[in-house]
Every structure is written in structure tokens, then in C-alpha cells.
Structure 1
Amino acid sequence: MTPTPRLTVDGLSVRFRLRTATVHAVTDLSLTVHSGELLAVVGESGCGKSVLAHALLGLLPGNASVTGRAVLDGDTDLFAGGRRHLGRRVGLIPQSPTTALNPVRSGRSLLEETLRAHGRPRTDADAVATAAGFDPGDLDRYPHELSGGMAQRLTTALALAPDPPLLIADEPTTGLDRPLVDHTLDLLRARCDAGNAVILITHDLTAAHRVADTVAVMYASRIVEHQPAEALFAAPVHPYTAGLLDALPDRAFRAIPGHPPMLTALPSGCAFAPRCARATDACTTLPALTGPARCHHPLVDRAAVA
């Protein structure tokens, strides 16, 4: 049976207008996430991963401009006034949980209010907290009384409380020890196995490999590779993806030389070319995203992975 598209993003670009420059945070991004799919979005810090999440949820600051389309369940364009009932359909595990929590509300108060707002009994609070790895005995604490890991688990519980069909998890394992990292990843995987969809934004490639169905690799505001997780980890097509994998401790443990370009001064051609050993004069022009990767000199023959 053909999977149902849960979210379709087409030509998304996000710009931040500064006094002396423009930040090109996301550029011409297109992707589709299906029911039952866990999509991991990976890349170095500052590549645009979190801006993608904030754009979809309408959480960008006033100096942001957004173009493109993002259609939820085939009928709701998020960029055309379609966010009215978004809270019932899309959940967010934020990257900075301590700043996302109301400092004058206890965890129990926040969770019970969320449950009540979505038609669930307040008595479900302990079970929802437990499912997220949060000890119900700590629900009566206030955010300043929680460790970073505890705050992370509480925001996970708040995001799961409405049981949203689409969950965006922005670095959801920050501050957690290994058992709780595994618990959180298993929780996300279980949601997809039950027919929901998850966008996992992470710098943890090991986590992505463990639970993702597909992986989108971002570099300097663009998706440079997008393919099934097993294929990507076995045979990356873009040199940048290969560099990320080579930096893993269980592989070459070798960092990519150089630094990403400033998002206020992106080159007209391939942004990775200054760091790429395979770059040629052809890379002064922007490669198209044909097949799984946006690259003039892919590591794997395109026909072999098409």
C-alpha cells in the first residue's frame, strides 16, 4: 500500500533581514514525510535544521521572511493561515527545554493543562510522564528545580500528550544519559511504527542511523543529500555526507577540514566546494538535486542509486 504523505514541503526558503545583511537560513528546501516515516535531518550546527522546524510551526521572529509551501495532510497549507489547529496535529520537542517551560507553573500544572486542552483527562498525566521517561514524582517541581535532562523529558511528555500525527523533535536527546537517549529514540520509533510521522532534527548520526527510515543532510541552508537511511550510511553519495560519517568515532574519526560559509555570504556555486577534495571548476555553478544528492561529482554513480 502506498504510504500517505503527512507533510509536503515545496521550495521553502527562509531569510532573516538584518540591518547590514540578509541571513539565508533555508534555501529552496523540498521534502515529503509520510505516515509511518521517521525522517532525520542532520548536519553541522548552523546549517538551518532548527530554522526549518520553527518555520513549519510559525515560531520565527518578526524579521523573517518565508516563501514556498508546506502542506499538512494534503489539505492545510501552513504558510497560508493553516496553523489555527496546528497544536492538535503537530507536536514539538524544543531544542532548549528550559526556556520553553513556563517558570511559574509546575510540571504537573503544565501537563494537566495540555491534556485538558486536547480532550484527555488530567489523570493521564502520570502515565504520559512515565512514557517519556519522566518520574511522575517530579511533576510537582517547577522548571528551575529540574536538571537539563529532566526538563528535556518534561517537554517530551508535553509534546506527546496531544498524540499528534506529526511530531518534530529538535535535538530531543540533549542532556540525557545513554539509557534515556535510547528510551527517547525508541519512543519516537514506536510512534512511527504506530502510523504517525516524526521529523528528528539531530547532530547525532548514530541516533539517526538507529531509528530513521530516511535521512536528509543539510549544508549551508540546503539539502545536499536525501535518501533511505540504510543506503546513506552504507554508501553516501555527497562528499559532505561522507565527511560527516568519517568523523564518527567508529569510522575514521577524522574531522572535515575547513568551515561552512557564512549564511550572509553564500557562494553562487556549490557551498561545500572550498572544503571538498573533489571540487573542480564545474563546482562554481550550483548543482541540481538530481537523484539522492546535489553534487557535480557524486561518490556513487547516480544511475546505481536512482
Structure 2
Amino acid sequence: MRGGRRIAAVTDASFDLAAGECLALVGESGCGKSVLASALLGLLPANAESAGAALLADGTDLLAADERLLARTVRGRRVGLVPQSPAAHLTPVRTVRSQLEEAVRELTPTPRKRLRAGAEAAAGRAAFPADRLDRYPHELSGGLAQRAATALALIGDAPLLLADEPTTGLDRALVDRTADELRRTVDEGRALLMITHDLAAAARIADRVAVMYAGRIVEIADATRFFGEPGPRHPYARGLLNALPERSFRPIPGMPPELGDLPAGCAFAARCDRPDVLCGTQPRFDGRAACHHAHAKDPSRA
């Protein structure tokens, strides 16, 4: 709800995610990526509602689960979260070490005398420096807070990991190291939903890519196809890649529409370089792309 109006932040989002697979969810700010992650863990604001189903491998429906079930058996144990705003998820009056030790004690069968070593091992996995473990969250830079939150998320070795912008605030070397650590968890058999603006990080570790625009998934593609040849099917997805400095470095014109004032047809039509009369109707997502012209030849590639 916003101003007494109902606004659909995410609509008809449908995808699967297998063990041992990384799905990168990409798109501009405000398209609904983080709202989707929050819904999966029951972390939406009190005035928000969710519908549909989000099933774990054991049949647990995350959207139907109550707070008691989510808190006691899901968060951290079956679904780990690297939050978008790590400072808000760290306890301000406790050091990073004490928070890591608590997570190790709660989520793993580590003997009490090994808690210190367990916390230091978790910090190492996220490239968090050992000499900063006894600092409080307010004493950390944004990048260090991000790495502390990543360390906490990795401790439980949950079968499903949601990483919401896990490389924010990190330099390129640490982005690569964080991405590689996340990929290692995938290669060990876990599922990873990585929400990111960083297409380079997505290209480094993703098996598939899902593109979200104006609250809807508009394309899902194999990462090799998406980042290589023949490339994305949806014009918005192509625009994201073309905006990269190593590509055309050409921004997508215009701005995304307001979620509370979406057009009747294709939400991307006003920014697309080849709209036509068909775009006045909402395109159906066929499992690959939600575009009336997704399977036509791209004239820019002719």
C-alpha cells in the first residue's frame, strides 16, 4: 500500500532454482528485485501483502509460513541471506566477532571451545580481515560491513542462499573474491539467488540470468547465451549489456515507469528502439522472454 493505493511491486514472478545452480536476478533500481527477496524470507513491511507460492525442496511454502516457522527453522538454517543494507542487519552494540560466534553456535555443531576458530574461519571465507573482528558495526566501512554480513550468511551452509547486492561497496578484487566464494558454495551443492547490478559479477558465477523490469521478469536465459552469443532476447536486457563500459557504453534512454502508473501494454515500449502497435498489449512471458518481438532478428546484429 502507498498513499491508500495498492501497488504491485512484483507481478507474476515465476522461476525455479536447483541445487548446485546460481541464478542472477538483474535489473535497474526499483524494479522489484529486493522486494522479491524480502518476500521469500517474510521480511516485507507490515503494509505489504504477498500471494502465490515459493516452495523449498522439502515442500515448505515460504510465502505461507508464519513468523515463528521462518525465525526458528528457515532463516539461516534453510535459507541464508546476504542483505542489501548490511549495517541494518548487524547488531550495533556487539562486535563482529561476537555476532559470528553466536551464529556459529546456533547454526553449526561446533563445540564452545572452538567458537573463536569458527568465527575466524567464517570471516576468512568472506575476506573479512581478522584484525577487525573486535570492532563494532559503526566502526566499519560500507565494504567491511558487507563482508561481515556475507560471513554471517555463509555460516549455516543453508541449502539456499539469497545474496542481495553482495558486492556493493567492494573494490574489483574483493568483488571477484566474494563472487568466487559464493560460486564455491554453489559448487558444493547449494542454490544461490544473486540479486545484483554488477553484471560482471553475474557473468563470473551465474548459470542462468533472470532480468526484471517494472516488477516483472522479462527474460530468463542461460548465462553463456546471455553474456555471449547470440545474447539476450529482450531489448531491455540488451540495453543493460550495451550500457557497460566494455561494450557500447550506451545508456538506455528515459526512465523506468512508476509502478503505480504502468502503461496498459509493454512497460518498456516507451524506451524501446523498435516499438510497434503490438507493444500496446502486455506481452506474455513464454519462459524465455516477455516481448512480442523477442524471437525476431535484432537489426543491430545484422
| TM above 0.5 | yes
Q: What is the deviation of 1:22?
A: 2.5
Q: In 1, distance between residues paired with 2:108 and 2:291? A: 48
Deviations 1:172-229 (A, max 9, x none): 1111111111110000111111111111000111111111000000000000000101
Structure 2 counterpart of 1:103: 92
Q: Does 1:276 align with 2:264?
A: no
Q: What is the deviation of 1:104?
A: 0.4
Q: In 1, distance between residues paired with 2:155 and 2:296? A: 43
Q: Does 1:266 align with 2:255?
A: no
Structure 1 counterpart of 2:134: 140
Larger proportion of strand:
1
Q: In 1, distance between residues paired with 2:44 and 2:36? A: 10
Unaligned residue ranges in structure 1 (runs of 5+): 1-16, 302-306
8 Å contact kept, 1:279–1:297: no
Q: Does 1:72 align with 2:68?
A: no
Q: Aligned residues: percent identity?
A: 58
Q: What is the deviation of 1:74?
A: 4.2
Q: In 2, distance between residues paired with 1:275 and 1:120? A: 53
Q: Does 1:239 align with 2:239?
A: no
**What aligned pairs does 1:195-206 form with structure 2 within 5 A after superposition?**
195-206=189-200
Larger proportion of helix:
2
8 Å contact kept, 2:221–2:232: no
Structure 2 counterpart of 1:14: none
Q: In 2, distance between residues paired with 1:299 and 1:172? A: 33
Counterpart amino acid of 1:76? Answer: T
**What aligned pairs does 1:220-235 form with structure 2 within 5 A after superposition?**
220-234=214-228, 235=231
Q: In 2, distance between residues paired with 1:94 and 1:291? A: 28
Structure 1 counterpart of 2:74: 86
Counterpart amino acid of 1:48? Answer: G
For 2:253, what is the secondary structure of its paired residue? coil
Q: TM-score, normalised by structure 1?
A: 0.90
Q: What is the deviation of 1:268?
A: 2.0
8 Å contact kept, 1:43–1:218: yes
Q: In 2, distance between residues paired with 1:276 and 1:45? A: 18
Q: In 1, distance between residues paired with 2:295 and 2:284? A: 15
**What aligned pairs does 1:178-257 form with structure 2 within 5 A after superposition?**
178-234=172-228, 235-257=231-253
Q: Does 1:31 align with 2:15?
A: yes
**More RCO (CA 8 Å, sep 6+):** 2
For 2:16, what is the secondary structure of its paired residue? strand
Runs of 4+ in 1 over 3 A off after TM superposition: none
Q: Does 1:113 align with 2:98?
A: no
